[in-house]
Amino acid sequence: MPYIGLGNRKVTATPDTTGWNTGALTAHFTADIVGYRMPYFELYHAAIVDVPSNTTVTVYQGRELYTVAQLDTIGDWDPAQPMNLAPGTEIYVCFTTLAAVTPAPTVTAWFRYDPTLPNNLGK
């Protein structure tokens, strides 16, 4: 059975509040923004716009570093291995862009799930 798309969520970066990216911008996908309740799902693609030239993005899954990428004005993150997520997991996209930069980058994250996975996977 093929993956089932869950649609997307869009977040515009704001001044960082994590302490990891002081003075710069961070897009924070909170558990409420992501909002999916199935046992396991994936972030399989992200599009980023309004990125200043030569910006580095650092992506965290919860409090753990997931990946780092270099972007230039617009970006596309299409990982070979999607980010596996469980309900409540938060995602942070930290930009090397100063907090005063406007417009701030916007991240559109695309999610999906595999209905063939057992509900108790990982227990």
pLDDT band of residue 118 (cuts 50, 70, 90) is: low
Residue 120 lies in a domain: no
Residue 97 lies in a domain: yes
Instruction: Give me the domain span that covers residue 88.
Output: 4-113
The model's pLDDT over 36-47, given as tens digits with 9 standing for 90+, comes to 888 889 999 999
The model's pLDDT over 59-110, given as tens digits with 9 standing for 90+, comes to 999 999 998 888 876 677 667 788 999 999 999 999 999 999 999 999 999 9
Total domains in the chain come to 1
Q: Does the pLDDT at position 120 exceed 50?
A: no
Residue 122 lies in a domain: no
Q: Which one is predicted more confidently, 121 or 84?
A: 84
The CATH number of whichever domain residue 92 belongs to comes to: 2.60.120
Closest CA to 49 of 75, 83, 68, 24: 75
Residues 6+ apart with CB under 8 A from 97: 13, 24, 25, 51, 52, 55, 104, 105
- Span 8-36, mean pLDDT? 95
Residue 96 lies in a domain: yes
